[in-house]
């Protein structure tokens, strides 16, 4: 528990520092102060509202116990949450052909799990149980706070070039620009890469641990391993348009939903599926 909160604190501090450096470089002391205020506001927003923002981004529809079409899925989540000794999270469905799922929320009392319609068609009931147990593991470890904050802030960092227009590059007392245009361009290039590195650093170990605990919650590591293999194969064949438009949210999914071209393939936020499967199968007695 303490480790997760420490990671969250370090992430927030790193984001604020990055915003401050960029603001100071592009706009001097005034730019730094504006950047720090914006970063502080974004961290507050990310803590309280980023989960709902992500669900809205994916046009997720809430499912209740009264929903006839997804009643069995809802009760599956309820059973798994009881196994994990968790409060019942809100349950959402995303109308996407690509099989995938994620969890979000700032703590177990304000958590949500979401699955695509594609994953329900592609997986068996056992495999789907394994996937949703994995997502509930993220809730139990409070990884959802880390992932929603990093997704929100990374999206802002990817648009860091807007600071250049906001600050106008900054001017000295003689009215001259105090930043080399080449430096500004370099910052605009490196800032999104820094965001990807932050996400990569906090995501991989988190996925391994969620696999392990998910297998314990579902009591079926073999089914989760099979599900990961299926989702991995489908994800490379079926695009997820929303994830492609908002790549910062890709690290929230159980399998990377992105096409993997260019820098996305170099800075993967997920461990190799083969290694994840191998670790799960090693748990089978």
Active-site positions?
Answer: 135
C-alpha distances (whole Å) from 201 to each of 113, 195, 211, 227, 268 are 23, 10, 17, 24, 10
Q: What are phi and psi of 38, to 5 degrees?
A: -65, -45
């Amino acid at each position: 528990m303490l480790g997760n909160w420490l990671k969250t604190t370090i992430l927030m501090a790193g984001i604020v520092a990055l915003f401050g450096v960029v603001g100071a470089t592009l706009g001097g002391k005034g730019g730094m102060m504006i950047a720090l205020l914006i970063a502080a506001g974004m961290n507050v927003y990310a803590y309280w509202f980023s989960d709902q923002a992500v669900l809205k981004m994916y046009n997720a529809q809430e499912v209740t116990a009264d929903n006839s079409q997804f009643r069995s899925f809802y009760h599956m989540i309820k059973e798994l949450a009881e196994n994990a000794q968790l409060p019942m999270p809100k349950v959402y469905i995303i109308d996407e052909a690509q099989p995938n799922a994620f969890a979000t929320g700032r703590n177990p009392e304000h958590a949500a799990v979401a699955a695509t319609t594609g994953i329900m068609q592609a997986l068996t009931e056992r495999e789907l149980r394994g996937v949703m147990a994995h997502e509930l593991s993220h809730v139990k470890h409070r990884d959802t706070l880390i992932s929603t904050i990093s997704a929100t802030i990374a999206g802002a960092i990817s648009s860091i070039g807007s600071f250049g227009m906001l600050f106008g590059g900054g001017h000295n007392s003689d009215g001259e620009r105090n930043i080399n245009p080449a430096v500004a361009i370099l910052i605009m290039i490196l800032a999104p890469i820094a965001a990807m590195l932050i996400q990569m650093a906090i995501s991989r170990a988190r996925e391994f641990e969620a696999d392990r605990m998910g297998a314990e919650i579902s009591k079926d590591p073999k089914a989760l391993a099979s599900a990961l293999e299926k989702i991995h194969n489908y994800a490379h064949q079926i695009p997820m348009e929303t994830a492609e438009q908002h790549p910062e949210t890709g690290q929230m999914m159980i399998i990377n939903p992105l096409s993997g071209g260019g820098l996305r393939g170099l800075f993967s936020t997920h461990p190799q599926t083969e290694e994840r499967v191998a670790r799960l199968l090693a748990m089978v007695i």
